[in-house]
Chain A
Amino acid sequence: MDINVPQQLVNALWLGGLYSLFALGYALIFSVLGLLNLSHSAVFACGAFVGLYTACGDEVFTTTCTELDRPIWIVIPAAMIGAGIVSVAVDRVAFWPLRKRNAPRMNQLISSIGAAALLVNLLQIQFGAAQQRFPFGSIPNDPVSGLPVVITPIQITALVIALGLMFALRILVKRTRLGREMRTVAFNERVASLLGVNVDRTYMTAFFIAGALAGAAGMMYGLAFNSMTPFMGESVSLKGLTVIVLGGLGSIEGAVIGGFLIAAIEVFSVALGRSDIRDAFVFLLLFVILVVRPRGLLGQGVEDRA
């Protein structure tokens, strides 16, 4: 049984890019809010559908979209901004009221699950449950020629955008005023406000950025796999959680490394002929990491997150 190693590497690499991109938003919110925002996967789906609506207009409500009304380089930012706004709305509706009352973290977690269900249902009412896709040829789909492996422009684009956004986020958190601000709020809201930080605004900014990252991931998914439903976030949701637990909660680099690692394990467990126990490999690794290194690969403990 021979394995097409170069092709499987390509498969792993770009899938890893997608996982990482999705997990980044999780990681960012965890680092600022100190909690898992389980509505992230719903925001991800919202991003894809905002993109679809931007691309096709009202057509999407009735039939399959067959033609792009707007160019793809407008559609992607629109999806990011749309998902960012949805994400901020989630913060205001699902988290802010609880935060004001100092509600326990668990309540906020539950509230985020509620927000996810609500968003998915709204999407379903608006767009229906059937699969949707971007019009054929939205983005060149023929493999790049002259290579020994099959890699399509969308895969390259997704990987480049994913890596670019990860890099940008890292710079933002580690090197900018906004990054310091977010890390300070993450550490202690009270101290942050005594330094002049408008904490609510910091939350909104963080949620916007996380939402925009989810939106970008949703667009990439939509374009690459050509299958979007309001429930598209469900399968990624658990992957994303695994990625950040593996990488270290709230660690940007951890989210990236975790994403690529999980993609590689998935792809190579399949490549080695065990697609039937692929998920078992992933969760076995997760289990081992949690036992050996409970903070995850790059986690530095709660005091030090972000």
Chain B
Amino acid sequence: MKTLIRTIVVLTFALVAVVPFQVQAQDGGGMGAWDGCPVPENLPEEVTIGAVFGLSGNIAAYGEPQKRGVELAVAEINEAGYLGEGTTLIAVFEDGGSDGEASIAAMDKLIAENELAAVIGPTLSAQAFAADPIAAENGVVVLGVSNTAAGLTTMNEDEELDQFIFRNSLPEANVIPNTITKSTEILGLERVGVIYGNDDDFTLSGYDAFADALEASEVEVVRTETFARGDVDFSPQLTNIINDDPDAIVVSALIAEAVPVVLQARQLGYTGPIIGGNGFNSPALFAQGGEAAEGVIVGAAWNIGSPSELSVTFTETFTEAYGAAPDQFAAQAYTGAWLVATAIRCADSADSADVREALAAIVDYPTPLGSFSFDETRNPVHEPVVQIVQEGMFKLLTEETAAQAFGE
């Protein structure tokens, strides 16, 4: 009898604790409203996930928002008791630096020092290629939240190892064709100039995707120019491209180089469309680029102007928490943490092998990125967007916004 009363009391508490959260979640359209799995019962008091982000050096411009995204998600998950009463999710961050070696070291350290349910990161594709195999060999599932290079989740010779490598960041290869098709259709592009960073996995795979998409859309590339990471002066390349009078300039660059490319193209008198890859999708484009950013067209996995309820809530909470608007990197990292938490919840286990199974099974999960699924190669499936900068904001690219921007 005593036991029964105790059980009832405990259950009541659990209900009281969970109910307000569910109401809140539904009201605000926040994360965790997904009820695909019941509240877990068998989790330990603490479940640890690791995160390897570039938190120092140039790359911290991406790593910092990623860290914030994960921190915000973890705080929400714990507050909501998403992993069950008495279970706390802990995120351990390691600085993955800006190269492969540093990420390998960070990954080694995380795995050696913690019992991990999963790892999120690393920031750059090149780092993921270097460090992900370590996680896989140790049977720890790793979820990339910003790696967009082709072939990431099938990098190993041993397919068994690949099973542990996931990403929620749409590869450039998925975003870019959509961007080019829509832009060509709306702007009637015939000839373009291309400029890209030729010493970085991210910008290189972006360039390849652009080149293929342009060919598929039968757009002529009149000139191709390159630059290196860390360059600040792009005037010579842009002078060449502008001299050829293209209908648009296509750019594959990280944000650090993307902004000066845009500024200098405008300075050299170019007023036409500038089409960028994933790297352009950051508030820094407006803050740093100002008026010059007007008319920049960017394909993206996520748009800060996206009208979906989860996206709006995320943007508001993030802005409130950090005093700055989130970028795509924050949104994907935030979503990544929720995906991992959901897999832990559904597996009702902190064992990484179980988490892996649950993660692979996620289908149509509502996130700020849209309705989210993993495909059979553990790549993300969700609808990308094509945006154009207008009046200092990303708007969806339409006949109307295009006409306003370029005065057809």
Contacts and interface: CB of A to CB of B under 8 A. Distances in A.
Nearest to A6: B239
A129 interface: yes
A133 B290 CA distance: 10
B60 interface: yes
A131 B236 contact: no
A200 interface: no
A161 interface: no
Interface stretch (A99-107, A108-116, A229-237, A294-302): A229-237
Contacts of B288: 64, 131-133, 226-227
Sort chain B's interface into a size bin: 35 or more
B240 A136 contact: no
B256 A131 contact: yes
A205 interface: no
Interface string A109-131: 00000000000010010001111
A8 B198 contact: no
Given A129-B61, A143-B267, A275 B236 contact: yes
Contacts of B61: 129-131, 229
Interface stretch (B145-153, B224-232, B297-305, B368-376): B224-232
A232 to B, nearest CB: 8
Chain B facing A: main interface SS = helix
Contacts of A64: 287-288
Nearest to B263: A226
Interface in A200-248: 221, 225-227, 229, 231-232, 234-235
A133 B240 CA distance: 26
A112 to B, nearest CB: 19
A166 B77 CA distance: 60
A251 B236 CA distance: 28
A114 B59 CA distance: 20
Nearest to B289: A226
A270 B64 contact: no
B237 A231 contact: no
A131 B255 contact: yes
Interface of A: 1-4, 7-8, 11-12, 15, 62-64, 121, 124, 128-133, 136, 141, 143, 150, 152, 221, 225-227, 229, 231-232, 234-235, 266-268, 270-271, 273, 275-276, 278-279
17 contacts: A3-B243, A4-B239, A11-B236, A12-B236, A15-B233, A130-B61, A131-B259, A131-B284, A131-B288, A150-B268, A227-B232, A266-B236, A267-B235, A271-B240, A275-B225, A275-B236, A278-B228
